């Protein structure tokens, strides 16, 4: 039986993590289909069809799907589910919202944030903020799985899967979308950036994050933060890296003024190379850092910004 | 309007957990247990609704072993009115907890259920959404701000790109994110008062709920360890290492 990947998108293209989810899905079953639900989502459906390894794209058009309300999208997925062995979503804020609703409606368990597919019914997932890895097996007929995108390589583009138009299931009227306050940034998206510059409480103010922006812009990096910096109001919530925020695994992660609570480490310790800049030489962040500098970040960061070549 | 909040007993967030030597799970014997931090935020939100006159009664729900009564007592000391414990020593997974909560919701008929978005032990992030599905209710997940008025709720949700505003019909299930509020500490007089507040103890079978786990845990292991790195003295040395040793810039 085929595996259904439910794709989030912005109307023009599916999210970049859909390509990672397709890779995970291809390890679960012989054929991968992608569901693009939306209102005028034809372009997004085309972008899904271009992902290699996708055998078919289902384009479900309904005004009810315009803003990804779980109450309206879940019934569509449930309707399609009997044709599939697995329902897969990336473990982002859309997948985390919708997948459990689908699972409960199907009366099946959900495997959350799988980081490895051992076999079609067995998955490895982190628990306790990544301080333990659980291998879990599900006996449910339809398996609902969210996957952590950073643990699966993005499937390449260049495919040309057929797109099938399917009908919508309508609006249930339980919820309505009012609007969004999205952070505007020209920088690469945090979870897919090759380099991430991240700041913590040590920055002492939102104003001081400008210093990190200068470094990030020179490196072509995404900008992140610890929970402490977000709670203090230095930066918006979507900057948060950690157990309950975003999980990143860039080639280079530069942690600046971040002490390294286990909850933060959970979100970045799979990075290839970690740099820590902190004045406290006992800070736990140094235990996971490949390269550490003990010292005043207000001196080191401008010096580093001057020393690196512009990308 | 009655508000039901769920409180889970978990290993305290400050404890460095240890994986059992036989790889069957995580050591919980002689470990400090506390209320799941996201559930504290749920309790606080309900109390603020009561203080504003929007909630009439707050019921604190928990499921698990007898010691969960302590977790419920903490919620009562913060300001919840009474507790319901579904007591069992069996392993409970999110779908089972959602079904147990549904049974209690059917009985108590709250107008709103508030739960933490995830528990910091199994990190599932499922129970609230599953409960909403089973009840056929709307769900306001990852709430950053909640405003309840006239049969509906307006909320700000923490999403990947920032914040999203939605309006949902009541009754509904809300799951809390970190910035929704800052939970209060229980005062000593309130801790004393909480000892007299009632806790009803129920059994899963009297609620007619099958709690058998759907996921079989085959093993639990330590994550791979990062090898410890080095400290460099100067920025020049750091840049050199990043360029020539790590090859990342």
Q: Tell me the per-residue pLDDT of A206-218, one tens digit each, with 9 for 90 and over.
A: 999 999 999 999 9
The CATH number given to A190-307 is 3.40.50.1220
* Coil/strand/helix, residue A245: coil
Query: The domain that contains B220 carries what CATH number?
Result: 3.40.50.620
**pLDDT of A56 strictly over 90:** yes
Number of domain units in chain B: 1
Between positions 167 and 196 of A, the ones with CB within 8 A of B are 173-183, 191, 195
Q: Structure tokens of B80?
A: 């919840």
pLDDT value, residue A184: 86
pLDDT value, residue B84: 98
In chain B, residues with a C-beta closer than 8 Å to the C-beta of A102 are: 133
Tell me, what DSSP letter sits at residue A99?
A: H
Question: Under an 8 A CB cutoff, do A174 and B138 touch?
Answer: yes
Domain-wise residue ranges, chain A? 2-166, 190-307
Q: Structure tokens of B139?
A: 């769900």
Question: Under an 8 A CB cutoff, do A131 and B223 touch?
Answer: yes
The reply to whether A101 sits in an annotated binding site is no
pLDDT value, residue B150: 85
Is the Cβ of A61 closer than 8 Å to some Cβ of chain B? no
pLDDT value, residue A172: 95
Q: What is the ipTM of this complex?
A: 0.96
The answer to whether the A2-166 and A190-307 domains have the same CATH topology is yes
What would the pLDDT profile of B189-207 be if each residue is shown by its tens digit? 999 999 999 999 999 999 9
Are the C-beta atoms of residues B167 and A142 closer than 8 Å to each other? Answer: no
Q: Structure tokens of A238?
A: 């979507």
Architecture (CATH level 2) of domain A2-166: 3-Layer(aba) Sandwich (3.40)
Is the Cβ of B217 closer than 8 Å to some Cβ of chain A? yes
Tell me, what DSSP letter sits at residue A51?
A: B
Find the domain containing B225 and state its range. Answer: 2-245
What would the pLDDT profile of A75-125 be if each residue is shown by its tens digit? 999 999 999 999 999 999 999 999 999 999 999 999 999 999 999 999 999
What would the pLDDT profile of B25-41 be if each residue is shown by its tens digit? 999 999 999 999 999 99
Are the C-beta atoms of residues B220 and A133 closer than 8 Å to each other? Answer: yes
Is the Cβ of B231 closer than 8 Å to some Cβ of chain A? yes
pLDDT value, residue A157: 97
**pLDDT of A183 strictly over 90:** no
- Residue found under tokens 């977790």: B71
pLDDT value, residue B227: 83
A239 sits in which H/E element: none
Bridge partners (DSSP) listed for residue A155:
none
Between positions 155 and 214 of B, the ones with CB within 8 A of A are 156-169, 177-179, 214
**pLDDT of A219 strictly over 80:** yes
In chain B, residues with a C-beta closer than 8 Å to the C-beta of A135 are: 217-221
Tell me, what DSSP letter sits at residue A81?
A: G
* Coil/strand/helix, residue A148: coil
Are the C-beta atoms of residues A14 and A47 closer than 8 Å to each other? Answer: yes
The residue among A16, A83, A38 whose CA lies nearest residue A56 is A83
**pLDDT of A309 strictly over 90:** no
| d(CA B165, nearest CA chain A) in Å | 5
Which of A286, A287, A304 is closest, CB to CB, to B235? A304
All residue ranges of chain B with pLDDT < 70 are none
Backbone φ, ψ for residue B157 (5° rounding):
-115, 145
3-state secondary structure labels for all residues of chain B: CEEEEECCEEECCCCCCCECCCCCCECCCCCCEEECHHHHHHHHHHHHHHHCCCCCEEEEEEEECCCHHHHHHHHHHHCCCEEEEEECCCCCCHHHHHHHHHHHHHHHCCCEEEEECCCCCCCCCCHHHHHHHHHCCEEEEEEEEEEEECCEEEEEEEECCEEEEEEEECCEEEEECCCCCCCCCCCHHHHHHHCCCCEEEECCCCCCCCCCCCEEEEEEECCCCCCCCEECCCHHHHHHHHHHHCCCC
């Amino acid at each position: 039986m085929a595996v259904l990947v439910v794709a989030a998108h912005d109307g023009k293209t599916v999210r970049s993590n859909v390509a990672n989810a397709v890779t995970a899905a291809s390890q679960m079953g012989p054929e991968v289909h992608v569901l693009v639900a939306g209102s005028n989502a034809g372009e997004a459906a085309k972008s899904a069809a271009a992902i290699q390894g996708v055998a078919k794209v289902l384009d479900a058009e309904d005004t009810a799907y315009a803003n990804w309300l779980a109450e309206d999208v879940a019934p569509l997925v449930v309707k399609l589910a009997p044709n599939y062995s697995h329902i897969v979503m990336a473990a982002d804020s859309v997948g985390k919202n919708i997948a459990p609703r689908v699972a409960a409606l199907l009366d099946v368990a959900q495997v959350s944030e799988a980081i490895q597919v051992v076999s079609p019914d067995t998955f490895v997932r982190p628990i306790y903020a990544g301080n333990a890895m659980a291998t879990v097996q599900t006996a449910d007929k339809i398996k609902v799985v969210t996957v952590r995108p950073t643990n699966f390589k993005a499937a390449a583009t260049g495919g040309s899967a057929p797109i099938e138009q399917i009908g919508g299931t309508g609006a249930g009227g339980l919820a309505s979308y009012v609007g969004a306050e999205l952070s505007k940034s020209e920088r690469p998206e945090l979870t897919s950036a090759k380099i991430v510059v991240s700041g913590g409480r040590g920055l002492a103010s939102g104003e001081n994050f400008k210093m990190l922006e200068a470094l990030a812009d020179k490196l072509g990096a995404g900008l992140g933060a610890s929970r402490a910096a977000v709670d203090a109001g230095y930066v918006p919530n979507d900057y948060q890296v950690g157990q309950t925020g975003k999980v990143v695994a860039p080639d280079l992660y530069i942690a600046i003024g971040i002490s390294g609570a286990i909850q933060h480490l959970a979100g970045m310790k799979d990075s290839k190379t970690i740099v820590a800049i902190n004045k406290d030489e006992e800070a736990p962040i140094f235990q996971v850092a490949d390269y550490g500098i003990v010292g005043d970040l207000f001196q080191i960061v401008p010096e580093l910004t001057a020393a690196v070549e512009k990308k | 309007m009655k508000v039901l909040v769920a409180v889970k007993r978990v290993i305290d967030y400050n404890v460095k957990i240890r994986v059992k030597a036989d790889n069957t799970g995580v050591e919980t014997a002689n470990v400090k247990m506390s209320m799941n931090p996201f559930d504290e935020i749920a309790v606080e939100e309900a109390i603020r609704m009561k203080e504003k006159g929007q909630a009439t009664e707050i019921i604190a729900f928990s499921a698990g072993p007898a010691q969960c009564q302590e977790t419920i007592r903490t919620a009562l000391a913060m300001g919840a009115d009474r507790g319901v414990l579904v007591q069992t020593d069996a392993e409970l997974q999110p779908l089972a907890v959602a079904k147990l909560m549904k049974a209690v919701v059917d009985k108590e008929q709250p107008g709103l259920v508030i739960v933490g978005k995830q528990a910091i032990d199994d990190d599932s992030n499922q129970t609230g959404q599953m409960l909403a599905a089973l009840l056929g209710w709307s769900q306001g997940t990852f709430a950053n701000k909640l405003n309840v008025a006239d049969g509906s709720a307006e909320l700000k949700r923490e999403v990947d790109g920032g914040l999203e505003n939605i309006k949902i019909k009541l009754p509904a299930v809300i799951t809390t994110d970190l910035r929704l509020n800052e939970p209060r500490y229980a005062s000593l007089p309130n801790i004393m008062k909480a000892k007299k507040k009632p806790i009803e103890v129920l059994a899963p079978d009297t609620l007619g709920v099958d709690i058998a786990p759907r996921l079989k845990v085959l093993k639990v292991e330590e994550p791979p360890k990062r090898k410890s790195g080095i400290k460099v003295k100067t920025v020049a040395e750091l840049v050199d290492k990043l360029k020539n040793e790590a090859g990342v810039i």
